[in-house]
Amino acid sequence: MPLKIPRLLSIAGSDPSGGAGVQADLKTFSAFGCYGMAAITALTAQNTRGVTAAYPVAPDIVAVQIEAVMSDISPDAIKIGMLATPDIARAVAETLARHEARNIVLDPVLVPTQGVSLACAGLEAALVANLLPLARLVTPNLYEASALTQTPLAGNADQMAAQARRLCEAGARAALVKGGDLSGEPVDVLFEAGEKRVFHGRRIATRHTHGTGCALSSAIACELAKGAPLIDAIATAKAWLEGALEAADSLRLGDGRGPPHHFFALWR
């Protein structure tokens, strides 16, 4: 009898240019040999140059999308990205809690690198109160970690670890604060079960970094769905993302920040 293919659900906004959001999540799921599903939380107008508009979906419509999937095809892991409003965050949390969803990776999308805001006022508090307690892992960048913990922007690994600890104290089982915006060598800091671990990475020379946060968190979720320990899941996801960034220039997409090459290992 064939092995069951890991099933992943993305709960996030739509990026019509395909570089971030549910489109990036679905590409990542496929790259990792997983079956991908999606519940749309917002429609955006964006491309490699930035975000020009965002239109949240009604919370009840987000909830029924999730309900339709959870009641029929139980996901092995769930990646949460852009939620846009506090009401959507609460609706997502209520639906997932009712279905006892597992392996939830929360990538708190708050402010894009370029363009209009993707978060309404009060979203940070709603994420902390409603979704952190459900999360197997939360993966904020430096700016998101600062906003969620209401502390100054971290400038080194020790400060990142302190913010990750605070996110765990707020309810997350583990927190990975991503340091790609640090100067010098990029480091990510994981805090889990009272312990800190630092992941060192390579700075890839490319401007095509649109959607890297979406891709990394989705890749981690894929590995968790396959049963990998969290540390191994993060290490595998980071190695894959470095390869995707190294191959990003070959896509030759757009005039701004294009996406990583999600299928660099599959397209020849």
Can you say whether the dihedral through the CA atoms of 229, 230, 233, 238 is positive or negative? negative
Q: Cβ(185)–Cβ(192) under 8 Å?
A: no
pLDDT tier at 226, thresholds 50, 70, 90: very high
Residues 124 and 175: their CA atoms lie apart, in Å, by 15
**pLDDT for residue 112 is more than 60:** no
What pLDDT, in 10s, does the model give residues 52-94? 999 999 999 999 999 999 999 999 999 999 999 999 999 999 9
Partners of 141 in beta bridges: 178
Torsion of CA 139, 43, 113, 142, to 10 degrees: -20
**pLDDT for residue 186 is more than 90:** no
Q: Cβ(131)–Cβ(106) under 8 Å?
A: yes
What pLDDT, in 10s, does the model give residues 6-26? 999 999 999 999 999 999 999
- The class that CATH gives domain 7-251 is alpha beta
**pLDDT for residue 164 is more than 60:** yes
Residues 144 and 139: their CA atoms lie apart, in Å, by 9
Residues 195 and 210: their CA atoms lie apart, in Å, by 31
Per-residue tokens: 208:
């095509």
**pLDDT for residue 114 is more than 80:** no
pLDDT at 182: 84
DSSP state of 18: S
Averaged pLDDT of the chain: 93
What pLDDT, in 10s, does the model give residues 140-157? 999 999 999 999 999 999
Task: Write the CA distances from 86 to 45, 102, 120, 133, integer angstroms.
Answer: 21, 22, 7, 16
Nearest to 17 by CA among 268, 263, 265, 257: 257
Q: What residue spans of 71-211 are helical by DSSP H?
A: 86-98, 123-126, 142-149, 157-169
- Strand order of the sheet with strand 50-56? 50-56, 35-47, 7-14, 77-80, 104-106, 137-138, 174-178, 187-192, 195-200
**Residues with a known catalytic role:** 178, 209, 211-214
Residues 91 and 61: their CA atoms lie apart, in Å, by 9
**pLDDT for residue 4 is more than 70:** yes
Q: Using H for helix, E for strand and C for coil, what is the string for 112-128?
A: CCCECCCCCCCHHHHHH
pLDDT at 150: 94
